Amino acid sequence: MATTTAPPRAGAPVGAPPVAAPPARPRRRRQLAPLWLISPAGVVILAVTVAPIVFLVFTSFTDYDQRSLFTGAYDSVGLGQYQALLADAEFWRSLLRTVLFTAAMVGGSVVIGMGVSHLLTRLSVGMRYTVTVVLIFAWAMPNVASSIVWKWMFQPGYGVVNWLLTQVGVFGDMTNVDWGNDAGLAYTSIWMLIVWQAVPFIALTLYAAETQIPLEYKEAARLDGASELRVYRQVTLVFLRPTLLLVTILSVIWDFNVFNQIWLVSAGGPDGATSTLGVFTYVTAFVGFDIGRGSAISVVTTALLALLTAFYIRNLVRSGEDL
């Protein structure tokens, strides 16, 4: 076997014996090192994410119910759960409510977040820090705690919002109005709550992106006689397009799955008027204990969100190519 030798060192005496090269580390060991480093995180992901998803998909093809929880007995029904789900009129009503309510929540949070983001660029340093801290506090509030407090604020008899509206006098005596027992008022209350929670993330994300826009483009547009609205529309929004697409798709995914706020404020009422897919899934799986049907609803919801995510990735790649 031939021995690998290193070239003579600079300054070494002529005729000195060559120095043997150090043995190379096994290449296979170097390739496996990153896998060993990420293996703890990989085990956690498999345990808390992949395994539940696999069990969810498996359960959607069975008649898993309350009996199965105690006895472990269940039967395979194939696509029966999906066929029954697609024939269920309540599922389609819940899907329609979810789509319309998601559009209202995403539209409101993105528009208001854009306004707050642009406002941050116009404030002084002290006011900007103050508004940023307030936004972070609002965003960091757990949605369960904020939903309960929100419901207290709209309670009939002693709710502070009802008292304020009564003092204003525009809507008459609102003291004993129960927002959760009226479909329109319930949607309005939940919409304000979710938008209030979503605006901080959107505003701070867009503000970070807006501060990276070169000022030369805005100055050139102003020198050409463009108004501030036209500068914002033709310069700022062009640079913000990838970030806007990002926060919009993330908002769609989050708002499509909203459950805590709706359940804690109105419990899907009155008479199922605010029962979106999240509430419909919970009631089917954990109130009616039809776990197989609830799993099928979750799989369909995940498939819809996967289509939205694919649309986002496709448009994000196109945006990067255009820029």
Domain boundaries, the chain: 90-289+303-322
Over range 211-234, report the average pLDDT. Answer: 87
C-alpha distance from residue 321 to each of 224, 250, 316 (Å): 28, 21, 9
Of 255 and 27, the one with more pLDDT: 255
What is the residue whose two structure tokens read 């990838």? Answer: 242
90-289+303-322: CATH topology: MetI-like fold (1.10.3720)
pLDDT band, very low/low/confident/very high, at 223 (cuts 50, 70, 90): confident
Residue 191 has pLDDT above 60, yes or no: yes
Query: pLDDT exceeding 70 applies to what percent of the chain?
Result: 89
- How many whole angstroms separate alpha carbon 156 and alpha carbon 266? 14
pLDDT score, position 3: 52
pLDDT score, position 257: 87
pLDDT score, position 27: 63
Q: Dihedral of CA 89/250/151/165: which sign?
A: negative
Residue 302 has pLDDT above 80, yes or no: yes
Per-residue pLDDT tens digits for 274-296: 999 999 999 999 888 899 999 99
Residue 94 has pLDDT above 90, yes or no: yes
Cβ atoms < 10 Å from Cβ of 51: 11
Q: Do the beta carbons of residue 281 and residue 301 sit within 8 Å? A: yes
Burial class from Cβ neighbours inside 10 Å (0-12, 13-18, 19+) for residue 194 reads: buried
Q: Would you mind telling me the total number of residues written for the chain in this entry? A: 323
Write phi, then psi, for 5 (nearest 5 degrees).
-120, 150
Write phi, then psi, for 308 (nearest 5 degrees).
-65, -40
Average pLDDT, the chain: 86
pLDDT score, position 109: 95
| Rounded to 5°, angle at Cα 22 from 20 and 23 | 115
pLDDT score, position 29: 66
Residue 5 has pLDDT above 80, yes or no: no
Over range 58-80, report the average pLDDT. Answer: 87
What is the residue whose two structure tokens read 């483009």? Answer: 217
**174, 175, 178, 184 alpha-carbon torsion, rounded to 10°:** 10
- How many whole angstroms separate alpha carbon 240 and alpha carbon 115? 13
Out of 11-25, 34-48, 58-72, which region has the weakest mean confidence (pLDDT)?
11-25
Residue 193 has pLDDT above 90, yes or no: yes
Query: pLDDT exceeding 90 applies to what percent of the chain?
Result: 40
From first CA to last CA, the distance across the chain in angstroms is 56
pTM of the model: 0.81
